[in-house]
A and B are shown apart, each in its own frame.
Chain A
Amino acid sequence: MLKYEDLTVGKTLTVDVNKLITRQQLQQYAKASGDLNPLHTDDEFAKKIGMPSVIAHGMLIMGQLGKYVTNLAGDTATVKQYKMRFGAMTFPNDEITCVAVVKSLSEHEGKSCAALTLYASKEQDTIVGTGQAILEFH
């Protein structure tokens, strides 16, 4: 859990590694999110449109990165804003690693805020998404 006093601009925070993405998880995410695009669940369909296999929902990766941000905030901060830009595609058996770097620290209406730059990556340091979160400390 983060303490505002411990943060400095440019500091890299503790890395988190997610479980391997599975086809079963893509099925589960499709149902839970309402994103029923067969590109994520039907290998034959994915191949027909030129993909090597089904691809993971970009929003599933954002969900994994969001879990990381929530855990960083713990009960010392609240997430006020969270965004992500989607990069390389993600496939079953990819393992997503999440990391954050402190971008800036500021005082806003008497509250301490930290802006974090977020990275979700897979093997060989391929970036699958970059993002930003604003944390407001209590």
Chain B
Amino acid sequence: MSMTSIIGQKSIDFIFEVTAERIKEFAQAIGDDNPLYSDEEHAKKMGYPTIIAPLTFPVVVAAANEKGFDLGLDQRRMLHGEQEFIYMRPIHVGDILSCHSIVSDVYEKKGKNGVMEFIVIDTNMLDVVGELVVTSRMNIVYRALQKQR
């Protein structure tokens, strides 16, 4: 089966509500005590509508849907090789994000251990007025099956 046949496959839409608790918990876990992630007054003083989320918070949103996007691939062969975020604006408390994931590319690259396959999955997160807030782009290395040692 050619892997390219999965290009364009799209998950069902899912909704993620951004709460102060989720942002605070995430900021603490990465060891970031920036008051932008916990103090509404401070965030407003810095020009934001309210508390905003750290740069990598979109993974929390994307993870909320992982089970709902089954491409029929072997999980054991999937390795998270690269992650990218493209921001239109920061995610903030109160955002109700309408999201979907899509396989945006599949390609091969010649490496020292033969041909490697890569799968690119974009998760687009839109706000209530339909404006794109952030795209989370996950690049997965799809490793060749190895014989059991």
Contact = CB atoms under 8 A, between A and B. Distances in A.
A33 B29 contact: yes
Contacts of B63: 33-35
Interface stretch (A2-10, A57-65, A100-108, A119-127): A57-65
22 contacts: A18-B31, A19-B31, A31-B29, A32-B25, A32-B29, A32-B60, A33-B26, A34-B63, A58-B83, A59-B83, A62-B56, A63-B30, A63-B54, A66-B55, A67-B30, A67-B31, A70-B34, A82-B85, A82-B87, A83-B137, A84-B82, A85-B82
Residue from A19, A25, A34 having most chain B Cβ neighbours under 10 A: A34
Given A62-B56, A64-B30, A66-B56, 18 more contacts: A28-B29, A29-B29, A32-B25, A58-B80, A59-B59, A59-B80, A63-B30, A63-B55, A64-B31, A67-B32, A70-B32, A70-B34, A70-B55, A81-B85, A83-B84, A84-B84, A86-B80, A86-B83
A80 interface: yes
A75 interface: yes
Interface of B: 22, 25-26, 28-32, 34, 46-47, 54-56, 59-60, 63-64, 66, 80-87, 137
A62 B83 contact: yes
A28 B28 contact: yes
A41 B42 CA distance: 34
B36 to A, nearest CB: 8
Interface string A78-106: 11111111100000000000000000000
